[in-house]
A and B are shown apart, each in its own frame.
Chain A
């Protein structure tokens, strides 16, 4: 039977050293192929740990992780080229130009030089960055850095694009542009795992969302279906607050 989930975690558990409570407490995350999937959670719910585990950056205690059917514990090498990570931090070299950054990251994915040049040009054009191709990253605005950060994760045309808070700290114009491009990329066939605190963004662009709290998924579905199922809540934000509570979640 064909697997319908591009990412699937089964009873995933992880407790950090020195911590009493598990950060991932039997996480069962199922992300369908071709979806624009929103993972919504309060601070400290375990979403960054989940992403780090999925990308092979952290070890987990128990459970299973499958990416396009590959078992993470065995096939990390095969999984890496399938993933494109856009971290919340601007993970770029500030003293290098946008082009130099992209050339290095693309080169590390093993993309042949002519194709890499073409991809860099296409993506810079797509994100309206062509004019700043040879400018140093440390001279870019916050919005421009965010866009280059996204381009760096998309150079190898990954099957799954994971974006951690891609619109944090950018102006309305840049945010709008980023969201539009994400819809465009998703429609072109890339599955997107979108992590955000901005619930209206998720409601606007996601084909499916999951609420996560205390290291596990507490609710999952199409935004419209969830709103219908949780009446009188009229928005994802209301459902989110209803499910996760109004208590502050400060974490270290």
Chain B
């Protein structure tokens, strides 16, 4: 035990003198958490504050134009402008405004759109009631929507689908009204369509909640655990670098000629870096709890099970350190380990939902992400933070990370044994 203390002392000193490594492990994630949370918070507000800028030019004096105007205004999605500097724009001017990205959407409703629809419906209904088999030719009626070319495809699809749904609803109501009017003329019994709703089936869409808790994380709830995991995995650079440097400068071989086993050597590194990882978690969580509110962000709610949190952080640390030890033993040079380590962590983070929350990922990406240890960790933290989950709920995630770490350690030991002893 006394000898082992000297190994711990060595690894502690080496780490303390590695200023660049310490900056990478502590400063980088602290800055990243704050910056990313602030950035995502503003996007979050942009969406929730219903501020998709829309320029509406309504030249229709009829009911359709008025209804579209009213529906868009009350939808809660758009910030609707109707004029610029007191002037109503032409179709060309509207297109120019949207093309220059001042507005995300531009809608142009031409004159007499309502009348055109009414005429078409009247002709259609009349033809239907008079038993004509050939349907009448209808006037072309419609409006133009301009979309900012820089808007994302997913956003474009969502908006178009909403607009299509709303215009169809209005059209349907007109058809109903017109049928009702025509029927009134030929039927002795008055038929009223008042009160008939286009929505007979009511679909109640809600965000999934448990015990009143919202399952969609806020930027703080997502970023703090996500970047903590990212930071803990970035230990790989420093840890694998330390292993490779010792191997290259010969001090590792000197240690092995002493009464010191490879297991002791590895265990000492694992203990020192586990402590570092736990400090990283504590630091970033404290930033989430105390610093984020000072910057106008939410405060991080740490859940109601400290034990679950400790088990999750510990198993995340084991996974990260195991990975670092494996890379340190497999890579031949520091350059190899730092490049491979950094790239693999970035990939794990990307597919694991660190940068983009998993709930907005496509299905194939969600499936690929299942192989990232960061996903397991993040999923566990989300359960603790959002659902107040206890130890039992996070055991699968913790177990996966522990297993990953142990497998990595086993690979490292096997690789080292075979290479060092040439067996």
Residues of A that sit less than 8 Å from B by CB: 16-17, 55-59, 77, 80-81, 83, 85, 87-96, 100, 103-105, 107-110, 152-153
Check if A91 sits within 8 Å of B254, measured CB to CB: yes
Q: How far is the CB of B194 from chain A (nearest CB, A)?
A: 85
Main secondary structure of the interface of A (DSSP, over half): loop
Q: Chain B residues near A58 (CB, 8 Å)?
A: 420-422
> Which of A81, A103, A108, A109: most chain B Cβ within 10 A?
A108
Q: Chain A residues near B257 (CB, 8 Å)?
A: 55-57, 80, 83, 85
Q: Chain A residues near B250 (CB, 8 Å)?
A: 87-91
Q: Please choose the segment from B7-15, B166-174, B287-295 that sits at the chain A interface, where 4 or more of its residues have CB less than 8 A away.
A: B7-15
Listed from nearest, the 7 A-B pairs whose CB atoms lie closest are A107-B6, A91-B250, A89-B250, A95-B17, A91-B254, A85-B257, A59-B421
Check if A108 sits within 8 Å of B7, measured CB to CB: yes
Check if B10 sits within 8 Å of A93, measured CB to CB: yes
A92 to B14, CA, bound (A): 12
Q: Chain A residues near B2 (CB, 8 Å)?
A: 107, 110
Check if B254 sits within 8 Å of A152, measured CB to CB: yes
Q: Which of B389-423 contact A (CB under 8 A)?
A: 420-423
Does residue B18 face the partner (Cβ distance < 8 Å to A)? yes
Q: Chain B residues near A80 (CB, 8 Å)?
A: 257-259
A209 to B415, CA, bound (A): 37
Residues of B that sit less than 8 Å from A by CB: 2-3, 5-7, 9-10, 13-14, 17-18, 246, 249-251, 253-260, 420-423
A89 to B6, CA, bound (A): 22
Residue of A81, A85, A95, A103 touching B14 (CB-CB under 8 A): A95
11 A-B pairs with CB atoms under 8 Å apart are A55-B257, A77-B259, A80-B257, A81-B259, A87-B253, A89-B249, A91-B254, A92-B249, A96-B17, A107-B2, A107-B6
A108 to B9, CA, bound (A): 11
Q: Chain B residues near A77 (CB, 8 Å)?
A: 259
Q: Chain B residues near A85 (CB, 8 Å)?
A: 254, 257
Besides A91-B253, A93-B249, 4 other CB < 8 A contacts? A56-B257, A58-B421, A108-B7, A109-B258
Q: Chain B residues near A108 (CB, 8 Å)?
A: 3, 6-7, 255, 258-260
Main secondary structure of the interface of B (DSSP, over half): helix
A45 to B3, CA, bound (A): 36
Q: Chain A residues near B14 (CB, 8 Å)?
A: 93, 95-96
Q: Which residue of B lies closest to A16 (CB)?
A: B422
Q: Which residue of A lies closest to B261 (CB)?
A: A77
A109 to B13, CA, bound (A): 19
Q: How far is the CB of B267 from chain A (nearest CB, A)?
A: 14
Q: Which residue of B lies closest to A136 (CB)?
A: B17
A108 to B252, CA, bound (A): 13
Q: Chain B residues near A104 (CB, 8 Å)?
A: 6-7, 9-10, 13
A100 to B255, CA, bound (A): 15
Check if B3 sits within 8 Å of A95, measured CB to CB: no
A243 to B10, CA, bound (A): 46
Q: Which residue of B lies closest to A19 (CB)?
A: B422
Check if B3 sits within 8 Å of A110, measured CB to CB: yes
Q: How far is the CB of B377 from chain A (nearest CB, A)?
A: 31
Query: Given A56-B257, A59-B423, A94-B249, are A107 and B18 also a contact pair (CB < 8 Å)?
Result: no
Q: Chain A residues near B258 (CB, 8 Å)?
A: 80, 105, 108-109
Q: Chain A residues near B420 (CB, 8 Å)?
A: 57-58
> Which of B2, B17, B254, B255: most chain A Cβ within 10 A?
B254
Q: Which residue of A lies closest to B11 (CB)?
A: A104
A88 to B254, CA, bound (A): 11
A250 to B2, CA, bound (A): 44
Q: Chain B residues near A91 (CB, 8 Å)?
A: 249-251, 253-254
Q: How far is the CB of B114 from chain A (nearest CB, A)?
A: 80
Check if B259 sits within 8 Å of A96, measured CB to CB: no
Q: Which residue of A lies closest to B7 (CB)?
A: A108
Check if B251 sits within 8 Å of A93, measured CB to CB: yes
Q: Chain A residues near B18 (CB, 8 Å)?
A: 95
Check if B254 sits within 8 Å of A100, measured CB to CB: no
Q: How far is the CB of A249 from chain B (nearest CB, A)?
A: 21
